[in-house]
Structure 1
Amino acid sequence: MMTHAEIVKKVEWKDLKNLSAREMLIENNLTIPWVLLSWLLAYNGYYILALPFSAFFFLTGLRQVHNGFHNSLGTNKFLTWFTLYSNSILMIVSIHAVKFNHIRHHKYCLTEDDYEGKSARMSWYGAILYGPVHMFLIHKITLQLGDKKYVGNLVAELISISVFLFLVFYFDVHFLIYHIIVMIFGEFLMAFFAVWTVHHDTHESPELARTQRSKWKNKITFSMFYHLEHHLFPGVPTIKLPELAKRIDQALPDIQKKQTF
């Protein structure tokens, strides 16, 4: 079996790192319509109708910050930082804590030092039950192992989240209370959706994560399950992963491609 370095040499990918103005606008604004639609429906009391839009906001928020982790949004350092900070408040989690553990995940993939990847060894229901522990652990590990910059960002984000929560509940803003509850529920499912689905039963070759080749499934999940492609080429923005998948299939037709779902 080829090594990661050998695979990288066989696939043309560096041109995919560059975003056009249109692609940059999409990646940096993808969350906006979903959060506005979910808030509009929740504000008018249509909470059930708001749920799928809230789910799409959560998913596109993950896509946006994930690109930010790998400096793939096409923006400068401050705007990338602001994307992570603002999504921390909206998604009710320190995104810099998620980033710290995600970068370690790429470095120590599925080893004992990969705290993000721990649920990959569990059963599917074990990963769901582990969700709240996962969210606590990534904050704890960042505080213990992160440098001053990571810890400073984590503290700033947690303070900002606390202020947001206080204001929303103090003024009894119902549609934002709904939003907060849904986001916390989404965070508790991260160990399952963001880790287990893409990494279970891949420990023999951790760099060969699972992937998704169904076009309609990739459309409704905003290309977030091209995980094999992401682990092999983490610098490629999500919007370019369908093209990267085609190139991998052409250059390496026999490479292992376990499906996510």
Structure 2
Amino acid sequence: MLIENNLTIPWILISITLAYFEYYILALPFSAFFFLTALRQVHNGFHNSLATNKFLTWLSLYINSVLMLVSTHAVKFNHIRHHKYCLSENDYEGKSATMTWYGAILYGPVHMFLIHKVTWQLGNKNYRQNMLLELISIVILVSLIFYFRIYFLIYHIIVMLIGEFLMTFFAVWTVHHNTHDHPEFARTQRSWWKNKLTFSMFYHLEHHMFPAVPTIKLLELAKRIDEAFPEMEKKNTF
């Protein structure tokens, strides 16, 4: 609980501090790791795996929405559908899995718009209300930042938008390309250093088999699956 709910804090503090003193190049890797850890945090929140109560999970999603410049409740709605309709026509999150790698990158801005549109059209009242609250909060914050010309926060906005535009490549294409024959068997990663570098976010086969398992336990789950099903084919993420 302590790790998953506080994983983003050092990365955002260091990146913002470096940006404040105009060390933008030095801030970039810390911003990237903030985005990655925030993605891990909200992903656990989608599956109620943060080990906190309902309100604190909601608060985590709301705060990360403002920091990442996207409605995480819109992302959640499409992600839950992704698990239900994995790589089928109704899986809007998984659309980029059939594209080329460069097509998935170019599709990023369209995907960012589409997940909000789909949530508004198909989501229930709670999803719509949460999405509106998050989007209004983002617009207010971004407007204030640009109005007062807070340059180190403008840097943060630009980097987060780039991260969101690359989501369809890193969070969808890398883990699902060439798996349409058996969409339930997503790609995974067994390289120790690669999993450390990516904060265990590429244990995707394991995640699809057991979505409620928190990210911090996916290494243990992967070991159990390897022992129980050594003959299972596992495609590497990268």
Report if TM-score (shorter chain) is over 0.5. yes
How big is each residue's C-alpha offset from its partner over 1:186-215, in whole Å with a ceiling of 9 and x where there is no partner? 000000000000000000111100000000
Pick the aligned partner of 1:224 from 192, 201, 205: 201
Matching of residues 163-174 of structure 1 within 5 Å:
163-174=140-151
1:10: which partner in 2?
none
1:52: which partner in 2?
29
1:141: which partner in 2?
118
2:230: which partner in 1?
253
Is 1:131 matched up with 2:131?
no
Letter in 1 for 2:162: F
How big is each residue's C-alpha offset from its partner over 1:35-84, in whole Å with a ceiling of 9 and x where there is no partner? 00000100001000000000000000000000000000000000000000
Is 1:85 matched up with 2:62?
yes
Residue 107 of structure 2: SS of its match in structure 1?
helix
Return the alpha-carbon distance in structure 2 between the equivalents of residues 254 and 46 of structure 1.
Answer: 49
Is 1:64 matched up with 2:41?
yes
Pick the aligned partner of 1:187 from 164, 170, 179: 164
Return the alpha-carbon distance in structure 2 between the equivalents of residues 131 and 196 of structure 1.
Answer: 11
Return the alpha-carbon distance in structure 1 between the equivalents of residues 36 and 232 of structure 2.
Answer: 28
Matching of residues 18-57 of structure 1 within 5 Å:
24-57=1-34
Runs of 4+ in 1 over 3 A off after TM superposition: none
Percent identity between the aligned chains? 77
Return the alpha-carbon distance in structure 1 between the equivalents of residues 108 and 224 of structure 2.
Answer: 35
Shift of 1:256: 1.6
Greater relative contact order (Cα 8 A, min sep 6): structure 1 or 2?
1
1:8: which partner in 2?
none
1:113: which partner in 2?
90
Residue 223 of structure 1: SS of its match in structure 2?
coil
Return the alpha-carbon distance in structure 2 between the equivalents of residues 171 and 33 of structure 1.
Answer: 26
Return the alpha-carbon distance in structure 2 between the equivalents of residues 152 and 259 of structure 1.
Answer: 38
1:215: which partner in 2?
192
Return the alpha-carbon distance in structure 2 between the equivalents of residues 167 and 32 of structure 1.
Answer: 23
Shift of 1:171: 1.0
Return the alpha-carbon distance in structure 2 between the equivalents of residues 68 and 168 of structure 1.
Answer: 28
How big is each residue's C-alpha offset from its partner over 1:109-157, in whole Å with a ceiling of 9 and x where there is no partner? 0000000000000000000000000000000000000000000000000
Q: TM-score, normalised by structure 1?
A: 0.91
Return the alpha-carbon distance in structure 1 between the equivalents of residues 236 and 99 of structure 2.
Answer: 18
Residue 222 of structure 1: SS of its match in structure 2?
coil
Return the alpha-carbon distance in structure 2 between the equivalents of residues 155 and 133 of structure 1.
Answer: 19
Shift of 1:180: 0.3
2:210: which partner in 1?
233
Q: Which sections of structure 2, spanning at least 5 residues, go unmatched?
A: none
**Count of aligned residue pairs for this structure pair:** 238
1:15: which partner in 2?
none
Letter in 2 for 1:134: H
